[in-house]
Amino acid sequence: MEIPEAVAATAARLASEINADAILALTENGKTCDLIFKRSFGRSMIRRATGLNKRRIKFVVATPDHETYERLSTHSQAKVIKLAVRAPTRIGQVQHAVCRGIREGILWPGELVVCMVGDGFLTDVDTLLVHRVTGSESTVAEIIESNPVLAAVVKIAMELGRNGYHGQPVGTAFMIGDSRAVLRRSRQLIPNPFRGHPDTFVSDKNDREIIKRFAYLDGAFIIDDNGRILTAGRYLDAKVETDIPLGFGTRHRAVAAMSAVTKTTGITVSGEDGMVRVFRGGEQVAKIDPKSKMLMEALVE
């Protein structure tokens, strides 16, 4: 028996034996979920648990892959969660998925969950964890995804870092929230391309291509708390020293400085390696690899 099949069989059996409320699978391609669906051990164990406990064990899937999400969403036995980024550790991945499950009303504090997880989802699942939902789980990944404006900008930033122009990343910056203060501490490098277009929002899929085109301009995007783009091509002029590590370029330092003197959240895309970074309070709080969607670093206050 291959490892994924053994893990799936053990997860179903363990969920029944410990009276778990749910099985949670974190997956990239959904192969382990297919084993749960197709193999008789998965169905029999879930039915047996249902018969003994007078209820059904929930099967929850969390995936960052759009095609996997769309495919599994049609399955009547699964409740599927779409992730934007991956936490850097197995425990972090579980906490992130559980947070999303709570927010979407799929999981509840006090529930016992058998979790199947692998190394960043990129390999087949190889680990089983038993997790009691507390409701206090908090990760940088969840902080990003719980804010729809921040999540939408991170998605655009990852597309710029991953695909960019002819496969090359496009370096740019976004400032989200506390927009009046940011505007007071910045100035236009070019005429505002969004002037007269007050209905351009980062959450609107129809506007994303326009946003990515203007990402080639020098300067930063300024976005309000509702996700409306106020301007692009903005020079950030917050003169304050920050403690971000050496090696960061002018763009990253300007964004970090602006986040230090205002309540804005800054997101940068590196023009060299495409890395997406999130800044708050003058510090880098997350670094995301746009190719794997993995949170390479995470700092939580």
Q: What domains are there in the chain, each with its CATH number? A: 3-138 (3.40.1380.20), 147-298 (3.40.1700.10)
For the beta sheet containing 294-298, the strands, ordered from the edge strand earlier in sequence to the opposite edge, are: 186-188, 229-236, 220-223, 172-176, 265-269, 276-280, 283-289, 294-298
DSSP 258: H
Predicted local distance difference test score (pLDDT) of residue 41 = 43
- In angstroms, rounded to a whole number, what is the distance separating the alpha carbons of residues 42 and 29? 18
Predicted local distance difference test score (pLDDT) of residue 165 = 67
What is the block-wise mean pLDDT of the chain (301 residues), using blocks of 10 residues? 78 89 88 68 48 69 88 86 84 88 91 86 76 76 82 92 82 96 95 89 88 91 96 91 79 94 95 92 90 67 42
DSSP 168: B
Evaluate whether 270 touches 169 at the Cβ level (below 8 Å). Answer: yes
- In angstroms, rounded to a whole number, what is the distance separating the alpha carbons of residues 122 and 126? 11
Whether pTM > 0.85 for this model: the answer is no
The two three-digit tokens of residue 95, written as one number = 């906490």
Predicted local distance difference test score (pLDDT) of residue 136 = 66
Letter string b/e over residues 123-134, b meaning 16 or more CB atoms within 10 A of that residue's CB = ebbeeebebebe
> Where are any strands of DSSP class E within the chain?
22-26, 58-63, 78-82, 112-117, 127-132, 172-176, 186-188, 220-223, 229-236, 265-269, 276-280, 283-289, 294-298
